[in-house]
Amino acid sequence: MQKIIEGFLKFQNEVFPERSELFKRLADQQNPHVLFITCSDSRVVPELLTQQDPGDLFVIRNAGNIVPSYGPEPGGVSATVEYAVSVLGVSDIVICGHSNCGAMGAIASCACLDEIPAVAHWLRYADAAKAIINGRTHGSDRERADDLVRENVIAQLANVRTHPSVARALAERRLNLHGWVYDIENGAIQALDGQSHTFVPLADNPQVRAT
């Protein structure tokens, strides 16, 4: 904790004064244009990866970058998606998985999760992706896990489309969906091309989107 406290003091004494005008503008309102949904993994920092300022991204983070399908008892993820789309009016939603994801690794390896039942229940929202990769042959455990990471991004994009606020915004052509996979080791991002249904390097295809 001492390191965290020291970091805050540095922010308060050095960083904040240099950006005081920005924080003054943000004090009474926010106007993010992107809802960024990613994993809680400590190695994935959306604002760092995208070089965005405070106020630019509306962020959801959870184990496995999961978006449960809309249902009669919507939870916190559903409420946050709805608020971002219907109230803040974001124009884009990014669902970003990442390499060496612990959540996806546990699913891919059929790890026993009896000791963490809440996690086991949560990861059932990735069952569609699991079913798809179970029908494929993989050369290694790493290849299987990487395949699951990609398919999970696709599955969560399908889930987010079931939310009424998202469905309406898509129908009115005021919302775009993006599926990304971030590679921690090399810093690259693969993006889902909605036309070819494959993941392509974002650096070479900056306009690509999932839908």
Is residue 211 pLDDT above 90, yes or no?
no
41 labelled catalytic: yes
pLDDT at 207 (0 to 100): 94
Catalytic entry in 41, 96, 144, 163 = 41
CATH for 31-185? 3.40.1050.10
Q: State both tokens at 7.
A: 């970091």
Closest by CA position to 80, among listed 120, 23, 38: 38
Q: Considering the entire predicted model, what is its pTM?
A: 0.95
Catalytic entry in 19, 25, 33, 39 = 39
108 contacts 143 by C-beta, under 8 angstroms:
no
Residue matched to tokens 């809680």 = 40
The span from the first CA to the last CA of the chain, in angstroms, equals 42
The whole-number average pLDDT for the span 137-157 is 95
Give alpha helix (H) positions in 56-211: 76-82, 102-108, 117-122, 127-134, 141-161, 164-171
93 contacts 177 by C-beta, under 8 angstroms:
yes
Is residue 72 pLDDT above 90, yes or no?
no
Band of the pLDDT at 85, cuts 50, 70, 90? very high
Domain ranges of the chain: 31-185
Catalytic entry in 19, 43, 168, 174 = 43
The whole-number average pLDDT for the span 66-72 is 94
Q: Which residues contact 153 (CB under 8 A, 6 or more apart)?
A: 65, 95, 96, 97, 179, 180, 181, 192
User: How far is the C-alpha of 61 from the C-alpha of 42, rounded, in Å?
Assistant: 10
Closest by CA position to 175, among listed 94, 60, 69, 101: 94
Q: What length is written for the chain?
A: 211
pLDDT at 73 (0 to 100): 81
pLDDT at 74 (0 to 100): 80
| Tens digit of each residue's pLDDT (9 = 90 or more) over 7-59 | 999 999 999 999 999 999 999 999 999 999 999 999 999 999 999 999 999 99
| Tens digit of each residue's pLDDT (9 = 90 or more) over 94-106 | 999 999 999 999 9
Catalytic entry in 96, 98, 150, 178 = 98
Average pLDDT, the chain: 96
| Tens digit of each residue's pLDDT (9 = 90 or more) over 191-205 | 999 999 999 999 999
Q: State both tokens at 131.
A: 């079913």
44 contacts 74 by C-beta, under 8 angstroms:
no
98 labelled catalytic: yes
Catalytic entry in 96, 101, 150, 163 = 101
